């Protein structure tokens, strides 16, 4: 490559048309998945205090919200449920008429073109708030798999388009893939939360999904933020077990992990721009300290530049407005 003064990088930055022509990464509506929270009840949308602009919807209010996403051209939503009551085994997670199962049916009935992805986990449904079955004060891996399989099948029967296990139990992708296949759901893709870190950035979500652990933390099943090679092993396992889309979560503090997953595996990569990442930008913007639109677009573009093919983000609707 020639050097200064022959090569002057500023030449191609001189005006917007040149910048458009050499731009390497473009954020598009095609990249976006919008997460929504659903609760029991009627005609209610309760704003989540640490996530301005995001709501817990009752099913009747969720449907118009889903319609809005389709109208905006957003390809899909991922749904999280808050049950009527919680118990040690998270029973409502795999009830045929549980909150998510009802929500999926209602959306697929009225907005069939919107992709409905369901988060498969137990933490919103268990009274202890952990993502699996507890015995002797520990989350038990293999007994949890059976419940995750049941949950996935009820989601599939309700009409879910994509199943997204977020529990981080070992072996759950294989167990869920086998069960889906045996029950005639060979064509339902699995979006695996493959490299999911034990992150403090989930704080606002736990208010939204009412899913904070009641004792201890999630560090015996979610990953240590210090580890990247381990993320590659997790992703490799999930690919072997049949995952179709591999997720890294959170996104911004883990851009290196997104990049390494994309470079090493060449698979569809999803990144979850989580609740805390959203809340920080919202809070700073509300204080007038940063420009929300520019900061959010910069952050989301960086996630794509790192290698993500799709982004789960609470900014999805705003992005469509902005771009
Ligand atoms: C459920 C789940 C969590 C998130 C997605 N699925 C919370 C957690 O693991 O504690 C977090 C999403 C967000 O913060 O936006 N296990």
Residue 205: band (very low, low, confident or very high) from pLDDT cuts 50, 70, 90: very high
Per-residue confidence (pLDDT) for residue 177, from 0 to 100: 98
CA 155 to chain centre: 16
Whose alpha carbon is nearest atom 6 of ligand 1? 166
Residue 249 makes CB contacts below 8 A (sequence gap 6+) with 166, 193, 195, 196, 197, 199, 271, 272, 274
Phi, psi of 47, rounded to the nearest 5 degrees: -70, 140
Say what angle helices 141-158 and 172-182 make with each other, to 10 degrees: 40
Which are the catalytic amino acids? 196, 249
Q: What pLDDT, in 10s, does the model give residues 174-192?
A: 999 999 999 999 999 999 9
Using CA atoms, how far residue 9 sits from 18, 19, 24, 262, in Å, is 12, 11, 15, 28
Identify the bridge partners of residue 271 per DSSP, sorted by sequence position.
248, 311
CA of 2 to the centre of ligand 1 (A): 48
Mean pLDDT, rounded, for 72-96? 97
Q: How far apart are CA 300 and CA 261, in angstroms?
A: 18
Ligand 1 pocket member 36 (CB < 6 A): no
Q: Is 139 in the pocket of ligand 1 (CB under 6 A)?
A: no
Q: How far is the CA of 181 from the centre of ligand 1 (A)?
A: 27
CA of 124 to the centre of ligand 1 (A): 9
CA 249 and chain centroid, separation: 8
Please tell me whether the overall predicted TM-score, pTM, comes out greater than 0.75 for this model: yes
The predicted pLDDT at position 207 comes to: 87
Question: CA torsion, points 120, 125, 131, 136, in degrees to nearest 10?
Answer: -150
Whether 169 is in the pocket of ligand 1, judged by its Cβ within 6 Å, is no
CA–centroid distance, 10 to ligand 1, in Å, is 42
Mean pLDDT in the chain? 97
Pocket test for ligand 1, best of 211, 218, 316 (most atoms within 8 A of CB): 211
Pocket test for ligand 1, best of 119, 164, 166 (most atoms within 8 A of CB): 166
Positive or negative CA dihedral for 80, 219, 140, 258? positive
Instruction: Report d(CA 192, CA 21) in Å as an integer.
Output: 35
Question: And the tokens for 278?
Answer: 């959203």
Ligand 1 centroid–CA 121 distance in Å is: 9
d(CA 309, CA 323): 18
Nearest residue to 256 via CA among 286, 226, 223: 226
State the helix-helix crossing angle for 229-241 and 255-265, rounded to 10 degrees.
50
pLDDT tens per residue across span 114-166: 999 999 999 999 999 999 999 999 999 999 999 999 999 999 999 999 999 99
| Residue of minimum CA distance from atom 14 in ligand 1 | 202
Percent of all residues in the chain with a pLDDT value above 90, rounded to a whole number = 98
Q: What is the pLDDT of residue 5?
A: 96
**Encoded tokens for 5:** 């003064």
Each residue of 16-75: pLDDT tens digit?
999 999 999 999 999 999 999 999 999 999 999 999 999 999 999 999 999 999 999 999
Cis geometry, peptide bond prior to residue 191 (ω within 30 degrees of 0): no
Longest Cα pair distance anywhere in the chain, in angstroms? 70
What phi, psi does 275 have (nearest 5°)? Answer: -55, -40
CB of 152 within 6 A of ligand 1: the answer is no
Residues 237-260, mean pLDDT to the nearest whole number = 98
Q: What is the pLDDT of residue 110?
A: 97
Ligand 1: atom nearest CA of 80 is 6
The pLDDT value given to residue 1:
81
Tell me if 277 CB under 6 Å of ligand 1.
no
Give the distance, in angstroms, between the CA of residue 168 and the centroid of all CA atoms in the same chain.
Answer: 13
The CB of 275 under 6 Å from ligand 1? The reply is yes
Q: Is the pLDDT confidence value at 101 over 90?
A: yes
| CA atoms of 237 and 18, how far apart (whole Å) | 43
**Cβ neighbours of 38 (radius 10 Å):** 25
The CATH number of 25-322 is 3.20.20.70
């Amino acid at each position: 490559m020639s050097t200064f003064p022959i090569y002057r990088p500023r030449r191609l930055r001189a005006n917007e048309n040149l910048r458009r022509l050499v731009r390497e990464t473009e954020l598009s509506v095609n990249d976006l998945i919008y997460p929504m929270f659903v609760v029991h009840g009627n005609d209610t949308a309760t704003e989540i205090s640490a996530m301005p602009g995001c709501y817990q919807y009752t099913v009747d209010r969720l449907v118009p919200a889903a319609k809005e996403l389709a109208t905006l051209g957003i390809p899909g939503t991922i749904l999280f449920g808050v049950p009527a009551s919680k118990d040690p085994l998270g029973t409502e997670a795999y009830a045929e008429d549980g909150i998510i199962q009802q929500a999926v049916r209602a959306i697929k009935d009225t907005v069939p073109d919107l992709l409905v992805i369901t988060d498969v986990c137990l933490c919103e449904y268990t009274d202890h708030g952990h993502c699996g079955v507890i015995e002797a004060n520990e989350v038990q891996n293999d007994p949890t798999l059976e419940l995750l399989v049941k949950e996935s099948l009820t989601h599939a029967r309700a009409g879910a388009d994509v199943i997204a296990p977020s529990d981080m139990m070992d072996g759950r992708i294989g167990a869920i893939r086998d069960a889906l296949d045996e029950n005639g759901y060979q064509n339902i893709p699995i979006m695996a939360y493959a490299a999911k870190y034990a992150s403090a950035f989930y704080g606002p979500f736990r208010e939204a999904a009412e899913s904070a652990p009641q004792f201890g933390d999630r560090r015996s099943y979610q990953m240590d933020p210090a580890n990247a090679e381990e993320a590659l092993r997790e992703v490799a396992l999930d690919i072997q077990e049949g995952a179709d889309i591999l997720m890294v979560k959170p996104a911004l503090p883990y851009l290196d992990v997104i990049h390494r997953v994309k470079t090493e595996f060449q698979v569809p990569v999803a990144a979850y721009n989580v609740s805390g990442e959203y809340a920080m930008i919202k809070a700073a913007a509300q204080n007038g300290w940063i420009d929300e639109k520019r900061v959010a677009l910069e952050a989301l573009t960086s996630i794509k530049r790192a290698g993500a093919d799709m982004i789960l983000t609470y900014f999805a609707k705003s992005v469509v407005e902005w771009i």
